[in-house]
A and B are shown apart, each in its own frame.
Chain A
Amino acid sequence: MLLLALDTATPAVTVALHDGDSVVAESGEVDARRHGELLLPAVDRVLAEAGRKLADVTDIVVGVGPGPYTGLRVGIVTAATFGAVLSVPVHGLCSLDGIAYAAGQAGLTGEFVVATDARRKEVYWARYADPRTRLTEPAVDRPAELTEKLAGLTAVGAGAVLYADAFTDVRADLPQHQSAAALASLAAEKLRTGGEFLPDQPLYLRRPDAQVPANYKVVTPK
């Protein structure tokens, strides 16, 4: 087994290779505006580091968000295209699950919430019973609207750190950014135990901004 995992749903552009037992190479860069430029070179680098070829890959794992649209699509279309050329399955995972899993690897136990920056003064978030078990569907909200609902819960992720006032126990010491290594480890575990994946479709959570133009502008001076 050779898993190639990638995620561009958050400001992180992250790629990892997992051989079924462990992560054999990984790359993570945080640059919210250059997903399109950074992803392919990162894939190339990770493969070279592991001394493997793309053709050796047996499964593609991709973070499907939620995340700001433009960056999110870079990872998903890359994963889908690789899957089509290599004729290998493309497994989607909620990007928040990767951050939750990484928090578990860093020692976090018990119930907690993961929040990422959704821009426009909102966060994408979900609640977890433990690092492998998500309790809620991912959602997008203003942090202040979550304060009461999530009171007392430990919070991880860059969204929680950014809006620390709205959350209770913000763990800035835990990984804040998505890591494809965590995503790959979670996927390897799921493949071993028969866990479920998501389709490789983006979780946008927001409708496209589309202004219906008002009836055409009258140009005759009144």
Chain B
Amino acid sequence: MARKADEPLVLGIETSCDETGVGIVRGHTLLADAVASSVDEHARFGGVVPEVASRAHLEAMVPTIQRALKEAGVSAKDLDGIAVTAGPGLAGALLVGVSAAKAYAYALGKPLYGVNHLASHICVDQLEHGALPEPTMALLVSGGHSSLLLAPDITADVRPLGSTIDDAAGEAFDKIARVLNLGFPGGPVIDRYAREGDPDAIRFPRGLTGPRDPAYDFSFSGLKTAVARWIEAKRAAGEEVPVADVSASFQEAVVDVLTRKAVRACKDEGVDHLMIGGGVASNSRLRAMAQRRCEDAGIILRIPRPKLCTDNGAMVAALGAEMVARGRAASSWDLSADSSLPVTEPHVPGHDHGHGHSHDHDHFHELSKDNLYS
């Protein structure tokens, strides 16, 4: 297949959690970003219910692909490749997207690229701010992950510097929102209340910031407990809980640790750019504090617009386009959904390198640790 060196036209499919995303890009240009979310169906459960998400993905899959094509105004036959999130994520949810992507690529006769969800969160910034600097320092914060990653080559070399040892940052927002009876998801609503509160009203703990703590790991579980305990004490004393002050002070503690460690990582590694992605990157206080601290440290901050920070298909297409542009091997037709795909694997190349799709099915194939039926 002829490869367009600079501006490949790629369709990306994302189904790792509760958003069915289909995006289309041409090189670094965003052409379509269609998303169908099942978030409302999960709200009453206070968290994403895997089976509910998988059912919703199946219903939304084909219509969302068609919506994206229409939005982009391109013909499917002109695509240079189909990219899909192969992992990490919810096993059953990933499988819907991977199956659809394979069928789509096969039917169109296009190469398939199974890519890593976390690397996609980083690569999406190419649609906003152009080519990623090399290396890229990235802080990924969402309901599923909180990681500091150093990427010398987003298609082939992504190194984890640190990550959360307990809850993800977004998870902490969800849990505190539940304690405050603010509903699900917690991020946007806490951000809103926090704007009217005093971030210094209550001094909540900053996890893993002691001199002997790991420099780049995060912990939000102790903070969550401290906030819940503080609220319960107020309630037990019959006092009203100052929701705005609690929100602002809790958010301040999270954002303080995230930005402090990210800037430290940039300085330690001699990297003059910081990329922040993931759903929590939409948080207004995180954006503001990161901006100020980066300016003070002489670091250029790159945060995509909020819609590109949350899970979407455009980020998958962005990474897929980079795979095509750099001539990375396509995936095989027996590509599996890997719920625990390591961040060190930006994509899942086929067994028969250089040829794209393999027709040899007699290889050893490792099963995912997770039983897809559990």
Interface residues of A (CB under 8 A from B): 32-34, 36-41, 43-44, 54, 68-71, 73-74, 76-82, 84-86, 119, 202, 204, 208-213, 216, 218-220
Contact = CB atoms under 8 A, between A and B. Distances in A.
Contacts of B225: 219
Contact of A208 (B49, B76, B372): B49
Contact of A77 (B58, B76, B107): B58
Contacts of A211: 45
Interface string B113-128: 0000000000000000
Chain B contact residues, majority secondary structure: helix
Contacts of A76: 58
B96 A73 contact: yes
A216 B179 contact: yes
Contacts of B373: 32-33, 68-71, 119
A36 B337 contact: yes
Interface residues of B, number: 49
B229 A80 contact: no
Contacts of A208: 49, 51-52, 55
B367 interface: yes
Contacts of B99: 36, 39-40, 73-74, 77-78, 81
7 contacts: A40-B103, A77-B61, A79-B103, A80-B62, A208-B49, A210-B51, A219-B228
A173 B291 CA distance: 71
B108 interface: yes
Interface in B137-194: 175, 178-179
Contacts of A80: 61-62, 100
A204 B92 CA distance: 14
Interface string B69-82: 00000001000000
Interface stretch (B239-247, B254-262, B308-316, B328-336): B328-336
Contact of A209 (B51, B65, B66): B51
A71 B373 CA distance: 8
Q: Which one of A39, A54, A68, A80 has the greatest number of beta carbons of chain B within 10 Å? A: A80
Contacts of A210: 45, 49, 51-52
B46 interface: yes
Nearest to B367: A33
A213 B47 contact: yes
B336 A37 contact: yes
A86 B55 contact: no
A38 B178 contact: no
A38 B332 CA distance: 11
Given A33-B371, A73-B96, A219-B225, 11 more contacts: A36-B337, A71-B372, A73-B54, A76-B58, A77-B96, A80-B62, A81-B100, A81-B103, A202-B58, A204-B55, A210-B52
A85 B76 contact: yes
A77 B100 contact: yes
B17 interface: no
B104 A81 contact: yes
Interface string B228-242: 110011001000000
B274 interface: no
B365 A37 contact: yes
A36 B332 CA distance: 12
Contacts of A40: 99, 102-103, 106, 333-334
B91 interface: yes
B95 interface: yes
B62 A212 contact: no
Interface string B85-100: 0000001100110111
Given A36-B98, A80-B62, A212 B51 contact: no
A86 B62 CA distance: 13
Q: Which one of B76, B225, B361, B371 has the greatest number of beta carbons of chain A within 10 Å? A: B361
Contact of A37 (B55, B76, B179, B335): B335
Contact of B334 (A37, A70, A202): A37
A52 B339 CA distance: 35
B359 interface: yes
